[in-house]
Amino acid sequence: MALHNTDDGASPDDPVLPPGPIGERGDPSWIAPALTASEKTRHVGKTNVFFGPPLAILADGQKNTLEISGKLNRTAERYLEILKHHGLELTEAERSCLAHICHIGFMSPLEIEELSFEVTMTKFECAGLDKGALAARLEQASFADLVAIVESLGF
């Protein structure tokens, strides 16, 4: 029996709503549901990528393009999950201070590790900013938390 996603009253033939799975998972005849419109847009296609030292190390010893692509995508997927689960709640004043510090551009891992020190050294000031408290919180944060903060600021 075919199951269709029609909870909202849409017909099974609605092009916006993908059909649901046919059968049940585990059944050899089970067919996975069609991709949603948002899942389809995830496909980027082929693109040239410069393999700087970090990517070259990550793909070291692999010559097959599909294996390299798979490794890059798995690594990116795991990295995105890390970003979801790490970081600190920051006030707007704290975000402004860190954005000011990060505005140098590329943040190397060493520079990210030194964020708490940079907060104590910056001349940046704004209403509601307690640099001592922010530096202490950053000092206690994990490296993953610091990376998530820098990424959330766009650096």
Residue with tokens 């994990």: 142
Reading the chain (155 residues) residue by residue, the pLDDT tens digits are 444 444 444 445 545 545 555 556 556 666 656 667 666 566 667 778 888 999 999 999 988 988 999 999 999 999 999 999 999 999 999 999 999 999 877 889 999 999 999 999 999 999 999 999 999 999 999 999 999 999 999 88
What does the block give as tokens for 22? 């046919």
Structural domain for 121, as ranges: 92-152
Are 98 and 148 part of one and the same domain? yes
Q: How many CA atoms lie within 13 A of 53 on its CB side?
A: 0
- Give the torsion sign (CA, 50, 54, 57, 58): negative
48, part of any domain? no
Are 17 and 39 part of one and the same domain? yes
Are 140 and 102 part of one and the same domain? yes
96, part of any domain? yes
Are 145 and 109 part of one and the same domain? yes
